[in-house]
Chains A and B, each alone.
Chain A
Amino acid sequence: MIKYDLAVVGGGPAGMAAALEAHKCGVNKIIILERAETLGGILEQCIHTGFGLHYFGEELSGPEYADRFIEQLKDTNIDVKTDTMVLDISQSNVVTAVNKTDGLLQIDATAVVLAMGCRERPRGALSIAGTRASGIMTAGTAQKYVNIDGYMPGKEIVILGSGDIGLIMARRMTLEGAHVKMVCELMPYSGGLTRNIVQCLDDFGIPLKLSTTVIETHGKERLEGVTIAKVDAHNQPIKGTEEYVPCDTLMLSVGLIPENELTKGIGIAMDPVTNGAVVTEMRETDHPGVFACGNVLQVHDLVDYVTMEAQIAGRGAAAYIQDKAAFENAEYISTTPGNGVRYIVPQKMNIHSREDIKLYFRVSAVYKNAKVVLEADGKVISSKKKVKLAPGEMENVTVPADVIASLAKDSTVCVRVEE
């Protein structure tokens, strides 16, 4: 058993930023455990640019964004173990991990930051009928094949789901010489950023078919085609709208699921909407000393927000390591998603917090010229006009420190959309 102040599970953007922030706050013995061969997480295969505008004020590619943090880590005494898989975290925050060189590692950590990221929703979860041919894969898997392994995973491509990875892959495959026939989206709106629709689809004349889904796959060995159909308001295929589209590849970009197997293993309370842990404004879960941040907590649209959230968790973990007693005195109230708001992170906030608390949330539908209203105890604290609100884009609103100071144990804080 090795003793560490802080064990960070995951060496992607969240894990690295959390570790660096904790280090900056004076935490001495920190270890990052990363399952891949290198640090950086999914950024390593996201070779497109668009990362870092908020955080660094410049537009970086995924590997470049990751590299900024990897370089910073080199200047610290933070221990990093790559190719290392965490198998279990005990009730007393003992982290069990495995790798080729150390074998089985047991780390007794005062605090743990969970930063395992998320995975893509696979085909099975969709119940698409048809054959089990090869050539049906998630957009992220295809991205790894083309960007890291240097192989074409397809030539005639249909993409289901207009999440950002799907859109990015439409452009990526087109530039590498593939023919992307269309992107189908079940919902009447895209799940991705508008700019990605413009520069990944419109630029290349790739049609985006809204309210459309793939209902069947064809082909015994390699995929030979898919049947698409329009869907009604209940997302059910409309008879008579079926269309056969020949293709050798179906890429799925139909949602991301936080990877919370370890979190659930500890018995941490989960939010059924985010599929992440329920956390406080410090990003502490309901298990003392265990924090969560990044896509394992909630699926983010921008890595910049991941970094910022991870820094909050890193500061939280440092505070916990340095003064556990303060955590015991906290009194929490819940943040309530109101009309048009799907969820809020953090789900709980400490009414003794002396700092502003930023509430991150997603809306449940597309709104135009709507207002984001923050209420405390039924009183409007702020009301901000928004030209456009979309489920694909994460929003935030700040609860000022003076408002928090006025809250009591039975206070309510609510965010809602007003049309």
Chain B
Amino acid sequence: MFSEVFAMSYDVAVIGAGVIGAMTARLLSSYRLKTVLVEKTNDVAMGASKANSAIVHAGFDAMPGTMKAKLNVQGCAMMPTVCKELSVPYKNNGSLVVAFSDEEMSTIHELYERGQKNGVPQLSVIDRETLRALEPNISPEAKGALLAKSAGIVCPYELTIAATENAVSNGVDFRRNAGVTSIEDKDGVFTLKTTDGDIQAKYIIDAAGCHSDDIARMLGDDSVSLVVRAGEYYVLDRSVGDTVSHTIFQCPTAMGKGILVTPTVDGNLLIGPTAKDIPEKDNVATTAQGLETVRTLAMKSVPCVSVRSAITSFTGLRAHPTTDDFIIGASKVNNRLILAAGIESPGLSSAPAAAVAIVNALFEAMGGEADKNPVYNPIREEPVRFRHLSDEERAALIAKNPAYGRIICRCETITEGEIIDAIHAPAGARDVDGIKRRTRAGMGRCQGGFCGSKVVEILARELKKPENEITKFGGHSNILFDKTK
């Protein structure tokens, strides 16, 4: 009885299930704390964490002494281990910042110096010939480059999904479709009024991305000042995925790191982003102009890049802090509110280290470290990835569960078994895009043309809902109307 009445009461509520919220919730699950991860949409990784450059930066961009610099270098070093624990594909492919003029060469040298100060390992300035040898498709106009061997690539939403799964397996509650509308603070307990009922917690971690300023303001803290910066990208087909092997940056400007060309861990080629400050917080529309910019500027680095092989385009939003540094620490207005705001690029790279910094700030506010969770298991088993198995493994798997013998997505070779697993995983998929991010079904050349209807059917069956209640990404993004007759 007692536990039921207080079932909604937690030690810590993490608001926002992006990569920062998820990694923080995972770290909290290694302590004896009742933690809830509160998300306003139908899934994790629905903001900046599903739409960014998917890069693990080496850490030479940020100014020495900033939180960005420190956490990026630390996060980059932690990433391989974290990805291994969470069975998330990570590749240490290295990055190149390419210079096209003598002026840009001096920027490269500046970045090198900055990198040294920030403690970035394995940095070097290379000449044109070495660059051409490393990347034969690079523009002949290139003068030289900064090579950062510690940089890598990772799938940001896979990392977020895996971290959330692992957190939930270790006891964290995940609440989706729970948008926080107001927060009350009474007798040392916050009450979060959400679109899915009240949630009580002693401490709040504000990892609400572009909305972290709104959350802080609910508790009277208006110190968080953000500008939403939109970046547009193209994803190109796997057939051109090996155009470059490193992540190719252009020289940075005040608005960001320029247009990059990079392979992804899934074998596609990603080009983008633009950088444009926008007034509307959730506007992820692409624009003709933005896409045009991406097309033209990507060709400056790698002339053979052509959007003829584009399979999709998207816009990602970055919560740019006007202070130009991450905002991590207890709020000056209410010290039980821990801010984790303004975590723009290199936020993904910094995420493992940022989670540590956030949890340390929480412990400071609590007045000491919490007890360790004795049954915490940092390992998230790798889901079945049929396409990566040998013929023998495939045969054995189907013999055990025939659902792995039915291919649903033909472009990416995704089986029904994998889709069912994604639905029933901790904090599992509830919509078509959720299936896509977890399994890659619909991520290929036909973009769900063939498998979309089958995915809807499987979701409806497994979730015991009619097909017309299945959405693309929650809310009113339903795919079907009524029955025809």
A interface vs B, CB < 8 Å? 35, 83, 85, 87, 96, 98-104, 119-120, 122-125, 127, 129-135, 137-138, 140-141, 144-146, 148-155, 176, 215-218, 220-222, 237, 257, 259, 261
Contact = CB atoms under 8 A, between A and B. Distances in A.
Given A123-B447, A137-B452, A221-B475, A155 B406 contact: no
Given A124-B310, A124-B313, A152-B481, A119 B449 contact: yes
B483 A103 contact: no
Given A104-B391, A120-B446, A220-B282, A150 B410 contact: no
A131 B285 contact: yes
Given A100-B406, A129-B291, A151 B285 contact: no
B176 interface: no
A145 B476 contact: no
A122 B449 contact: yes
A87 B413 contact: yes
Nearest to B468: A151
Interface stretch (B222-230, B317-325, B397-405): B397-405
Given A103-B395, A119-B446, A221-B473, 4 more contacts: A104-B395, A141-B453, A151-B467, A151-B481
Judged by DSSP, the binding face of A is: mixed
Best-buried of A141, A148, A215, A237 by chain B (most CB within 10 Å): A141
Given A119-B449, A120-B446, A151 B398 contact: no
B254 interface: no
Contacts of B413: 85, 87
Nearest to A259: B410
Contacts, number: 142
Nearest to B471: A134
A151 B406 contact: no
Interface string B402-439: 11011100110100000000000000000000000000
Contacts of B481: 151-155
Given A134-B479, A149-B453, A151-B481, A100 B286 contact: no
A152 B405 contact: no
Contacts of B286: 129-130
A144 B456 CA distance: 12
Given A98-B405, A98-B407, A119-B445, A151 B287 contact: no
B288 A85 contact: no
A134 B478 contact: yes
B411 to A, nearest CB: 8
28 contacts: A85-B406, A87-B413, A98-B407, A100-B403, A101-B402, A102-B405, A104-B398, A119-B450, A122-B312, A122-B447, A127-B313, A129-B286, A134-B472, A134-B478, A137-B452, A137-B479, A141-B452, A141-B453, A145-B480, A149-B453, A151-B468, A151-B480, A151-B482, A151-B484, A152-B483, A216-B285, A221-B471, A261-B411
B406 A83 contact: yes
Given A103-B395, A134-B479, A145-B453, A129 B484 contact: no
Q: Rank and list the top 7 A-B pairs by shortest CB-CB distance, nearest first.
A: A124-B312, A122-B447, A134-B472, A85-B407, A100-B402, A100-B405, A103-B398
Contacts of A141: 448-450, 452-453
Contacts of B100: none
A102 B391 CA distance: 13
B485 interface: yes
Nearest to B474: A221
A152 B284 contact: no
B365 interface: no
Nearest to B295: A127
A130 B285 contact: yes
B31 interface: no
B217 interface: no
B483 A132 contact: no
A140 B287 CA distance: 27
B311 A103 contact: no
A176 B483 CA distance: 10
B480 A99 contact: no
B240 interface: no
A215 B457 CA distance: 31
Contacts of A103: 394-395, 398-399, 405
Contacts of B284: 131-132
A153 B481 CA distance: 6
Contact of B485 (A98, A130, A150, A218): A150
A120 B449 contact: yes
A133 B472 CA distance: 8
Nearest to A220: B282
Contact of B398 (A98, A130, A257): A98
Best-buried of A129, A137, A215, A216 by chain B (most CB within 10 Å): A129
Contact of B484 (A35, A87, A176): A176
Contacts of A132: 284, 314
A137 B456 CA distance: 14
Interface string B386-399: 00000100110011
B181 interface: no
B480 A152 contact: yes
Interface string B294-318: 0000000000000100111110000
A291 to B, nearest CB: 21
A271 B290 CA distance: 33
Contacts of B479: 134-135, 137, 153
Nearest to A106: B391
A220 B445 CA distance: 24
B377 interface: no
Contacts of A151: 467-468, 480-484
Contacts of A129: 285-288, 290-291
Nearest to B481: A152
A45 to B, nearest CB: 10
Contacts of B407: 35, 85, 87, 98
B130 interface: no
A160 to B, nearest CB: 14
Contacts of A261: 411
A125 B411 CA distance: 15
B122 interface: no
A122 B447 CA distance: 6
B477 interface: yes
